């Protein structure tokens, strides 16, 4: 079956493309390369340079490739930037998703797996966080993802478009089998920043806040391996393709680790004793975010298998060591694969 993967040249998208291939699906990557990397897409995968805002072109591609379902990653995803440039986020995420949905409607494609986020919860009232927890995002990024979830529910109700929205906690790690990994610009995520410091590309790691009400005073997060996330997307896809109803699921390991614990694990895995400095809290960071993923475990049989902290860090480390400056400097071997079909 043919699956259109918007944002398939990005970090999570490229890992899902790998998992789709392993599971016998044919992924078609649709990406505008605003943040994605062509080098993250395997040579044998059809790559289409296109924008989700381009309704006619997206519809044409869905028809041409006889698309059975869409997995939708294409989005702007930097929390800090979303606060300083909300227009970009409402335009790319909310309006972009609306355009994509309209292209799907036009092409008669009625199944979507949607890349959502734990940021839809904001500051939790209790942990672990279940899907029924209060939805009160504290940043623009989370608000745009929640708006899209609402749009999907309305499209389901009115147009019978079924969806699975997957709310990720802290995606981390890298594929042990393919040369893909996490590369944002600018980088703001803890694990890549730690590993770039271990490599000597950055001078030091900052701990944002040491006075949180946690065991060691630093923030606690639920780190989930990107390969476990990828498996969940394929399960969600199979659920929809076998006639399943629309669902919303959390994706987390259900274990919390503090910033200090992540730094200690990275020092152990890398064997490098890099400098660490303590700084003030970063605005908008809740003290503890831990998922309950009971719902997807029970309903779809998902089970994280790679999300121990050491495996998350060691797979990320292996990738970072090979790419000290990320993916952007990689030589593109087959430029002809990049085609915009019109
Ligand atoms: N963090 C930190 N130093 C950094 C980057 C992040 O202490 O240089 C902390 C951040 O405050 C949060 C955790 O690490 O508690 C994870 O942050 P990240 O940006 O990776 O993901 P988020 O939880 O914000 O989605």
- At residue 46, does pLDDT exceed 50? yes
- At residue 340, does pLDDT exceed 60? no
Query: Which tens digit of pLDDT belongs to each residue from 56-76?
Result: 999 999 999 999 999 999 999
Residue whose CA is at the smallest distance from ligand 1 atom 12: 219
**How high is the pLDDT of residue 134?**
98
Give me ligand 1 centre to Cα 191, in Å.
8
- At residue 333, does pLDDT exceed 60? no
> Ligand 1 test: best mutation among 116, 168, 171, 189, most atoms within 8 Å of CB?
189
Q: 341 falls in which pLDDT band (50, 70, 90)? A: low
What is the value of pTM for the model shown?
0.94
1 token code pair: 């079956």
- At residue 328, does pLDDT exceed 60? no
* 300 vs 157: CA distance, rounded Å: 23
Average pLDDT over residues 241-259: 98
Q: Compute CA distances 139 → 82, 86, 100, 125, 281, whole Å.
A: 7, 9, 23, 17, 16
* Residue 89 annotated in active site: no
248 token code pair: 């919303």
- At residue 335, does pLDDT exceed 70? no
- At residue 168, does pLDDT exceed 50? yes
Query: Which tens digit of pLDDT belongs to each residue from 182-217?
Result: 877 788 899 999 999 999 999 999 999 999 999 999
Give me ligand 1 centre to Cα 24, in Å.
36
Closest CA to 244 of 202, 297, 300: 300
Query: Which tens digit of pLDDT belongs to each residue from 113-125?
Result: 999 999 999 999 9
- Stated length of the chain: 342
Atom of ligand 1 nearest to the CA of 79: 24
* 132 vs 117: CA distance, rounded Å: 14
* 157 vs 56: CA distance, rounded Å: 24
Segment among 148-152, 177-181, 249-253, 301-305 with least mean pLDDT? 177-181
Residue whose CA is at the smallest distance from ligand 1 atom 20: 189
- At residue 334, does pLDDT exceed 60? no
Catalytic residue among 30, 89, 141, 249: 141
The number of angstroms, rounded, from the C-alpha of 137 to the middle of its chain's C-alpha atoms is: 17
Please give the mean pLDDT across all residues of the chain.
Answer: 93
**How high is the pLDDT of residue 319?**
92
Q: 84 falls in which pLDDT band (50, 70, 90)? A: very high
């Amino acid at each position: 079956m043919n699956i259109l993967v918007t944002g398939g040249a990005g970090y999570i998208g490229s890992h899902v493309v790998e998992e789709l291939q392993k599971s016998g699906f044919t992924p078609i990557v649709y990406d505008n390369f605003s943040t994605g990397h062509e080098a993250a897409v395997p040579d044998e995968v059809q790559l289409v340079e296109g924008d989700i805002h381009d309704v006619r072109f997206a519809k044409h591609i869905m028809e041409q490739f006889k698309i059975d379902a869409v997995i939708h990653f294409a989005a702007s995803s930097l929390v800090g930037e979303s606060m300083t440039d909300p227009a970009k986020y409402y335009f790319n995420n909310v309006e972009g998703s609306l355009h994509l949905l309209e292209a799907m409607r036009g092409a008669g494609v009625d199944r979507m797996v949607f890349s959502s986020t734990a940021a839809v919860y904001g500051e939790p009232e209790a942990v672990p966080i279940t899907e029924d927890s209060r939805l009160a995002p504290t940043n623009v990024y989370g608000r745009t993802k929640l708006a899209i979830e609402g749009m999907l529910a309305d499209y389901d109700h009115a147009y019978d478009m079924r969806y699975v929205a997957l709310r990720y906690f802290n995606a981390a790690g890298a594929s042990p089998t393919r040369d893909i990994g996490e590369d944002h610009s600018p980088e703001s995520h803890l694990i890549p920043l730690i590993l770039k410091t271990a490599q000597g590309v950055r001078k030091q790691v900052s701990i944002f806040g040491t006075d949180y009400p946690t065991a060691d005073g630093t923030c606690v997060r639920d780190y989930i391996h990107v390969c476990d996330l990828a498996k969940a997307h394929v399960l969600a896809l199979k659920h929809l393709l076998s006639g399943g109803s629309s669902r919303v699921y959390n994706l987390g390991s259900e274990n919390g680790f503090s910033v200090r614990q992540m730094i200690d694990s990275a020092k152990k895995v890398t064997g490098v004793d890099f400098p660490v400095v303590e700084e003030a809290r970063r605005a908008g960071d809740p003290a503890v975010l831990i998922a309950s993923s009971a719902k997807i475990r029970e309903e779809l049989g998902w089970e994280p298998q790679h999300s121990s902290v050491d495996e998350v860090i060691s797979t990320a480390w292996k990738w970072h060591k090979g790419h000290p400056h990320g993916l952007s400097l990689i030589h593109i071997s087959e430029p002809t694969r990049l085609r915009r079909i019109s």
